[in-house]
Amino acid sequence: MFAYLTKFGSLKSCSAEEFEGEQLTINKVSRLHMGAYLCIATNGVQPSVSHRIILNVHFPPMIWVPNQLIAASMGSDAVLICNTESSPKSINYWTKDDEDALISNDKYEIHTVERLYRAQMILKIKDISPNDFGTFKCYARNSLGSTEGSIKLYGITPFLLSIILFL
């Protein structure tokens, strides 16, 4: 009998008739199947033999934008966030008003937090001025495709901001 332990920790058993040799077939594999699998072979005589297998599924990038509208007052800082998933890893970048890619400098602080096939793109815009308002886009691209997310940064007066915070 062969059994395999999924990355979620649930034990699933299958008889030898369902598997030929040492193969586990996952039909319509998706990114949700990614992770570590433990194959356990036993014939009733101890010890059982096990082997850990890492399944990596390649897929085009996907982007989730938690906040598509960001309000900021003059002189404040604004933080824009895009969350991505991709495998292989994607090349990630930001643009403003469909112009060239932004780079970290005195105005913009750009960094990415990566975890396995996920990444969080963070753009901090410092000392907001009227020229900063507009549409920012986050892009993710790998060999299988590309995608984008959009965030609109708009101005808010300190008076209106105090009303919103009061509510």
What residue ranges do the domains of the chain occupy?
Answer: 2-57, 60-156
Structural tokens at position 131 = 């020229």
Tell me the pLDDT of the chain averaged across its residues: 85
Residue 31 DSSP class: G
Q: What is the pLDDT of residue 166?
A: 60
Q: What is the CATH number of domain 60-156?
A: 2.60.40.10
pLDDT tens-digit series, residues 113-131: 999 899 999 999 999 999 9
Q: Once rounded to an integer, what is the mean pLDDT over residues 47-57? A: 85
Peptide bond connecting 130 to the previous residue in cis, omega within 30 degrees of 0: no
The larger pLDDT score, comparing residue 31 to residue 63, is at 63
Phi, psi dihedrals of residue 158, rounded to the nearest 5°: -55, -35
How far is it, in rounded angstroms, from Cα 14 to Cα 97? 55
Among the ranges given (48-52, 79-83, 96-100, 126-130), the one the predictor scored with the smallest mean pLDDT: 48-52
The larger pLDDT score, comparing residue 125 to residue 29, is at 125
- List the alpha helices (DSSP H) in the chain: 158-166
Answer yes or no: is pLDDT of 7 > 60: no
